[in-house]
Structure 1
Amino acid sequence: MPPTLDEHLVDQVRLKNRQALEHLYSRYEKLLYRYALHLNDHPATAEAALTDLFCRIWQQRLHFNPHSETIRATLIRSLEEIMHYMKEDKSDSNTSKIPSA
């Protein structure tokens, strides 16, 4: 069975093809952004999470192997993880750390 367009794009990303990453981004940008807003009702946080997701894909492109599930499912799961970590980081920065005497 020939690879899907998404599989082809992921293979091209692994080969350092930035246009393939941009194409993958444009295919899923609206879906992922809406989902990020659903998880956290802050547009800036949603945009940051999306940027972080695709930066991570590019930086870890040799280890990005979503062929065990659909690319869409992998992107959504990865976005959920990023949003979770962003939420934890924000709550950590909001707690005051008073040194003990």
Structure 2
Amino acid sequence: MSFLSDHELFERIIQRDTSAFELLYDRYERVLYLTALRLTNRAELAEAALLEVFTDLWRAPQTFDIQTTSLRLRLFARAETAARQLLQSA
């Protein structure tokens, strides 16, 4: 299944496919974590941001509008937003 595109994985996540979710997580976990860490300089906030992004993806994938932008860009935008919000509230 690792040969599937982000879009194909996203469509499977909408159908509640946990394998697709795990694969997408494995694909982006490290780089999204590093993005959040770069913004917060705090590992615990970066981890919390990552958790928020993937929790949102699993619970409400329809909020990730990928009609106008790629899922990859949506994930990065969510990670940055979550990191900034967590940093402000810390």
Normalising TM by the smaller chain, what interval? Answer: 0.7 to 0.9
Match of 2:8 in 1: 8
Give the gaps of 5 or more residues in structure 1.
Answer: 91-101
Task: Tell me which of the two structures has the higher relative contact order, counting C-alpha pairs closer than 8 angstroms and 6 or more residues apart.
Answer: 2
Q: Which AA in structure 1 matches 2:59?
A: Q
Give the gaps of 5 or more residues in structure 2.
Answer: none
Moved beyond 2 Å, runs of 4+: 62-65
TM score, norm. by length of structure 2: 0.87
Match of 1:49 in 2: 49
Displacement of 1:48 in angstroms is 1.2
Give identity over the alignment, percent. 29
Partners in 2 of 1:26 and 1:64 — Cα distance?
A: 18
Q: Which has the larger radius of gyration?
A: 1
CA RMSD of aligned residues (A): 1.4
Match of 1:34 in 2: 34
Displacement of 1:28 in angstroms is 0.6
TM score, norm. by length of structure 1: 0.78
Match of 1:17 in 2: 17
CA contact (8 A) 1:7 1:67 kept: no
CA contact (8 A) 2:39 2:83 kept: yes
Partners in 2 of 1:31 and 1:47 — Cα distance?
A: 12
CA contact (8 A) 1:32 1:79 kept: yes
